[in-house]
Structure 1
Amino acid sequence: MTIVTQNVIPASVLLQAGQPDWLRQWGEFAAKTRFSALPAPVVERTKLVLLDCIGAIAAGMQEPEMRTLVGRLAQREAGEGQVPVIGSGRRMSALLASLLNGTAGTMLELDEGNQYARGHPGIHVVPAALAAGERLSISGADLLLAVALGYEIGSRIGIASKLRVTMHPHGTWGTVGAALTAAKLEGATADQMVETINIASSFGLSTSRRTMLEGGTVRNSYAGFSNQLGLMAWELQASGFVGETDGVGTVYGTVIAENFQPDEMVLELGERWEIARNYFKRHAACRYTHGALDALGDIVRQAGGSIDPAAIETIEVDTYVWAAQLDSAEPKNMLAAKFSLPFALATSIVNGAATVPAFREEAQANTTARDLARRVSVREDASLTAMLPGLRPARVRVCFSDGRTLSAEVLTNKGDTEDPYSPDDVRDKFRELAEPVWGGEHVDRIIAEVDGLDGASDIHGLTGLLARAPQHGWSQ
């Protein structure tokens, strides 16, 4: 009897046959890029993004929901974990710590972002990088490189696609960024990078844009789950799981987004770094409010440094479409207040600035601020919408009861690439957020550790500082 043998093509080869060119390029780029390839401005900006995320996490971890969640999840851990839950004084497993740190980092609406990606790449990758890096004892340079690469691929998916208007960007393409960050720290090959990207593409959450408008604080967990799922994407790949051949193209071209442009994924790859085009925030509110808040700041200066709320008859705002949606004057909680343009302007006038305390429960209950918010009207101007995404314009007009009017217009938000905060501004923001948690001396040590991270043989110096308990105590 003659036995006929057939040539069996391995599954991996069949998968590779259908892979798009951009994905192969990204696999090679992510696997081969070394820290020495990062331009000096990219290294310095990555340090600032890391510092900014740490500050947002530490401050956000003090919110009552986070304290309760940390306590509940700690009860489910068998012994102390390895990764610091920043600002709590606890350590947990990498998966839980990345979830908690990512969630805390979005609580106060102060984490950095990228206007071109239309989202917040940093908080989707930094917790995953710290969690994986702690376990692997990586160098500081490797941590910075992994953060920059994860930030890059997440941002580029955001740039290359158009999320459905009903989607919130948190918890979507950031998962791919977290996964690539983990894969880089694990020393993944090009093929492993590709497979990790494909697996992670399936893990975007069904995020509703209405959560932010209604004050649904579940929204704050989206970035936390992205970090956790990104770490899991690597573990699945390492265990032999495979994803769709072109998962990103399918998910971000037909499922949760559309009009995916693959050429954007590799345009000037390795030359234009998205982390160097990011923005930082000082107003503790949704970034869509920042143009109007900056314009209001100009008006307050015109008025001599302060405005009596009782002297205001109305405030009129013309702005772009996404900002115009934030028109509710009756926010029900802190998150909703941060996504209310009328309240953000009113509380800024009453409290002198759109600070963290200006959105807390006591400030929300302030009758003067609430009454003023009801006198704010918000309209979309199509000509301003047409300036997106490069510009974020707003016109504000304050009409006083005595007939006077003061007005101002801005085209960009302070902190954007066109009008950036200085490195010292970002460090000052970090101090404002972190000193109430740890005190000034400890905060200065963290800043110094991050500044010198590219020369650190491992990241334990940094993570050791981040593991410190808050100075005003949590029950342990």
Structure 2
Amino acid sequence: MTIVTQNVIPASVLLQDGQPQWLRQWGSFAARTQFADLPLPVVERTKLVLLDCIGAMAAGMQEPEMRSLVSRLGQRERMEGQVPVIGAGRRMSALLASLLNGTAGTMLELDEGNQYARGHPGIHVVPAALAAGERCAASGADLILAIALGYEIGSRVGIGSKLRVTMHPHGTWGTIGAAMAAARLEAATPDQIIETINLASSFGLSTSRRTMLEGGTVRNTYAGFSNQLGLMAWELQASGFVGETDGVGTVYGTVIAENFQPDEMVLELGERWEIARNYFKRHAACRYTHGALDALGEIVRQLGGPIDPASIEAIEVDTYVWAAQLDSADPRNMLAAKFSLPFALATYIVNGAADVPAFREEAQANPIARDLARRVTVREDAALTAMLPGLRPARVRVRLRDGRQLAAEVLTNKGDTEDPYSPEDVHAKFRELTEPVWGGPHAELIMAEVDTINGASNIRELLDLLARSPQHGWSQ
């Protein structure tokens, strides 16, 4: 289903009640769109996003901070909830489960994203959709539709505005996406959807970009709070609370962002689905490092084997502005290491991959990797910056002590829309993340359930699978 915007009131025009035209269109679009209106590629991509988020949440839930947080919050709930805390083997209330699941999903820096929205819509929507879907006894088709719509509106706010450069995108427009998913699962009317969007627009966090650079792990909670606040936006609306008449325009045009472009909210609406333009990640590090990591991987392939760190005199990286900012060679913890281009390249060379173990404490403390990271120089190339957002280019040159120079260049990250991972790649990633948590047979059951979820009359069978305790257990 396509919303036609030609020869109608422009999206930016305010109607008599003060509402912008685009918001009225969105209320109508989201309320009347049915699962049958989704193109098949959108359905299939949404299922992959759901699976990818589940894998990221289950693996991230095993981190020490998550185990402690689950235990502490679990002690404060007087009764068992109904929503699985994925990878923890317990259930909590919708609000706490969505907070924990969203937080866990960003712990390992492996959740999917959208290069045009400049953020990670999936992990801001999926936990809230699962929680709301449990309460509504939603069908699988309803869940897929809610995720696709939530992903769509969150992404479009990200595309249609420019966050302040000091802001981190997590915890901002994703709240609107979570609220949309909840409202759609509640069979909201157009007016209820509009009010929920306006309420959710006020809930963006004061997200500092420096948290990711310094290793401030509070950053990992931003997506968790977005899911929790998105659910709350629906509950507030249902209770009679109201927001600004044009909350999105105010917040994303003047407060935490600027240059809001309403026309982007309805451009090809129902025809161009943002979830079908997403990317998946295999390197367990900030996406800004991926171009350089892919180029380094090409150099290793050219050599036909690994590079001895001792043979390297220096590594030079030329890349776009956001990646060039990740130039710290001495990260203080796992999160900071994932946002350090010098360390990411060094640990790739030392460990043979930029996977989850390559950023853990033991790998960070490796003196060989630490020393090599200090021999990496990162520079911005304005010509490469000009290729954003469609491309994410990087050039890598490795200078060896014997005088040889090895070089490679990539224009975009592996996994992006322009060079996508296959469904089999996403499945392989899911196995890598979840088999240590649940074991191979249970991981296969979850994949099979997600693959056919659009035919399920109720998502509770999936939720029951996600409530499974980790095979090695941990203190709660």
TM above 0.5, one fold? yes
After the TM superposition, which residues 338-353 of structure 1 pair with which residues of structure 2 at under 5 Å, given as runs?
A: 338-353=338-353
After the TM superposition, which residues 55-454 of structure 1 pair with which residues of structure 2 at under 5 Å, given as runs?
A: 55-454=55-454
Asked if 2 retains the 8 angstrom alpha-carbon contact of 1:15 and 1:245, the reply is no
Partner AA of 1:34 in structure 2: Q
**SS of alignment partner, residue 119 of structure 1:** coil
1:16 Cα shift?
A: 6.6
* Residue of structure 2 in register with 1:4 after alignment: none
1:136 Cα shift?
A: 1.1
Partner AA of 1:473 in structure 2: G
Partner AA of 2:55 in structure 1: G
Q: Name structure 2 gaps, 5 residues minimum.
A: 1-13
**Highest Rg: 1 or 2?**
1
1:135 Cα shift?
A: 1.1
Partner AA of 2:165 in structure 1: V
Distance 1:67 1:127, change over 3 A: same
Structure 1 ranges of 4+ moved more than 6 A? none
1:390 Cα shift?
A: 0.2
Deviations 1:266-321 (A, max 9, x none): 00000000000000000000000000000000001111221000000000000000
1:474 Cα shift?
A: 1.7
**SS of alignment partner, residue 378 of structure 2:** strand
**SS of alignment partner, residue 75 of structure 1:** helix
Distance in structure 2 (CA, Å) of the matches to 1:140 and 1:293? 37
Partner AA of 1:420 in structure 2: P
Deviations 1:35-77 (A, max 9, x none): 0000000000000000000000000000000000000000000
Partner AA of 2:132 in structure 1: A
Deviations 1:3-56 (A, max 9, x none): xxxxxxxxxxx9971000000000000000000000000000000000000000
Distance in structure 1 (CA, Å) of the matches to 2:270 and 2:15? 26
Distance in structure 1 (CA, Å) of the matches to 2:299 and 2:168? 32
Partner AA of 1:80 in structure 2: E
Q: Name structure 1 gaps, 5 residues minimum.
A: 1-13
Asked if 2 retains the 8 angstrom alpha-carbon contact of 1:183 and 1:196, the reply is yes
1:323 Cα shift?
A: 0.1
Distance in structure 2 (CA, Å) of the matches to 1:79 and 1:56? 27
**SS of alignment partner, residue 76 of structure 2:** coil
Distance in structure 1 (CA, Å) of the matches to 2:129 and 2:15? 28
Distance 1:447 1:364, change over 3 A: same
Distance in structure 1 (CA, Å) of the matches to 2:475 and 2:260? 48
**SS of alignment partner, residue 167 of structure 1:** coil
Distance in structure 2 (CA, Å) of the matches to 1:15 and 1:391? 38
Asked if 2 retains the 8 angstrom alpha-carbon contact of 1:201 and 1:251, the reply is yes
Asked if 1 retains the 8 angstrom alpha-carbon contact of 2:15 and 2:21, the reply is no
Deviations 1:117-158 (A, max 9, x none): 000000000000000101111000000000000000000000
Partner AA of 1:271 in structure 2: E
Distance in structure 1 (CA, Å) of the matches to 2:17 and 2:202? 20
Distance in structure 1 (CA, Å) of the matches to 2:109 and 2:31? 33
TM-score normalised over the length of structure 1:
0.97
Partner AA of 1:307 in structure 2: I
Distance 1:237 1:79, change over 3 A: same
Partner AA of 1:430 in structure 2: F
Distance 1:411 1:232, change over 3 A: same
Deviations 1:63-96 (A, max 9, x none): 0000000000000001110100000001000000
Asked if 1 retains the 8 angstrom alpha-carbon contact of 2:399 and 2:405, the reply is yes
Asked if 2 retains the 8 angstrom alpha-carbon contact of 1:16 and 1:245, the reply is no
Partner AA of 2:330 in structure 1: E
1:475 Cα shift?
A: 2.6
Shifted more, 296-305 versus 430-439: the winner is 296-305
